[in-house]
Amino acid sequence: MIRRSSAIDQALRAFPEARSLAAAVEALRPIVDAYVTKDRVRRYVSALADMPAPSTAASAFRLPVLKTLLEEDGALGDSRLQLHENFEGTGSTVMLTGGARRKPIWYFAHLDSISYLVRPESGGRYPLVPFCYHMIENGDRQARAYRYDLYTLSYRMVASGRLQSEGGVPFFLPSDPHEPLAAGDRVVPIASYSEDEPSGTFVGHADNAGGVAALAVAAPLLARANVEALLAFPDEEEGPRGSGSQVIGRGGTRIVNQMPTPDLAIVADMQQAGGDLEEGADADDAARLGGGAMLAEFSSLARGAVTPPPLYTLARAFIETLAAVGVRIQESRNTYTSRSDDVSVLLKTPNILLLGFPGLDRHFDRAEPRANLNDLVDLAKSLVYFAALQPQYRAMQHRIREADA
């Protein structure tokens, strides 16, 4: 639990607008608690996690799943929520709430998952080029290869097998019988959704099905609350290993270039955790599965976004308000949070909050990825509530400028 500091108390006294956040939360609480249920979040994340999503092809794979889930909930029948399947020709999916051109608050959760490009076969297996940050040092994982079919205008599986890694070098070993792989094919690791219901911890390709699920569940509530928002699901967040920020998040860059600058942006992604709460370590030492959503101050040791101190201080104070209505948010303790779509959004605004969920082995590092369903429920609720932070932070910035003048 984040303890309120004297600095936060001083900030709240200095900026009285922040005190109205509690009233905003209470106004939203009835619709949030009624709609954001564990069963609904499970339905979204399990369906999305079980669908492969190679970068630059994620919309072809996961968009039909996302659209079906929203239609089943009647979310797309509201004119205040629009789904754009290929937003402004960017190749990415976007949802917009409200009717104004400028969206004061942005939400990002990348739709794609890690994937690999294929090189010519050698010794019965295919060397791979990571279209991601490859984190498996040694071992093998279940995987499939997909190919685009010109006759059906869709992707089809051409081989199943194992993704093997030796000294950090990846290969694909297909099972027999299989079609020979070729340029243009994509290899993706597979992890079927499986949940331990008492604890809520699940195995599955949660990066970033968890963030997408949380945003998709939050979207109809944002529309109902008349929030003007952009909810972006970039098709290409994963990118090759590199020292510069812009090797990843290229799908997000294409989106932000189409939009006026917002007041506030929230990036929801899977963040590294320290394990399950019941496994022994003190929850103050590291974020834990089942401990709630997760807030970080900066990503990739400041190579990504760094939240401005006034915004971060306000967000930390807001966490206490949300705790009073049963929404749990952990703090990352500045250990390590990976870059995500924040590297694209920071080209437009510094006012970025890294609000995601804890997980383990997000890129199949040592095992199949794990996360916790209860954390995603907390994340979906917090994404709705944090919309109330945007006008308050805008007013807070105005007061800061007046004080400086």
For residue 42, what is the domain's CATH number?
3.40.630.10
* C-beta of residue 216 within 8 angstroms of C-beta of residue 108: no
Residues 150 and 232 placed together within one structural domain of the fold: no
Residue 235 lies in a domain: yes
Whether residue 170 is preceded by a cis peptide bond, meaning omega within 30 degrees of 0, is no
Ramachandran quadrant class, 48 (left: phi over 0; alpha: psi -120 to 50; beta: rest): alpha
* C-beta of residue 289 within 8 angstroms of C-beta of residue 201: yes
* Cα separation, 149 vs 372, whole angstroms: 36
Instruction: Count the domains in the chain.
Output: 2
Q: Pick the last residue of a domain from 172, 189, 206.
A: 189
Does residue 356 register a pLDDT over 50?
A: yes
Residue 332 lies in a domain: yes
- For the record, the structure tokens of 354 come out as 């890294």
SS (H, E, C) 243-281: CCHHHCCHHHHHHHCCCCCCCEEEECCEEECCCEHHHCC
Average confidence (pLDDT) over 327-348: 91
pLDDT in tens, 358-398: 999 999 999 999 999 999 999 999 999 999 999 988 888 87
Q: Which domain holds residue 184?
A: 116-189
Residues 20 and 90 placed together within one structural domain of the fold: yes
Residue 172 lies in a domain: yes
H-run or E-run covering 201:
strand 201-203
244 pLDDT band, cuts 50/70/90, is low
Residues 331 and 239 placed together within one structural domain of the fold: yes
* Cα separation, 240 vs 255, whole angstroms: 20
pLDDT in tens, 107-166: 999 999 999 999 999 999 999 999 999 999 999 999 999 999 999 999 999 999 999 999
- For the record, the structure tokens of 137 come out as 């040092």
Residue 1 lies in a domain: no
**pTM of the prediction?**
0.92
* Cα separation, 334 vs 332, whole angstroms: 5
Residues 16 and 79 placed together within one structural domain of the fold: yes
The pLDDT assigned to 405 comes to: 62
Residues 121 and 102 placed together within one structural domain of the fold: no
Residues 102 and 131 placed together within one structural domain of the fold: no
Residues listed for the chain? 405
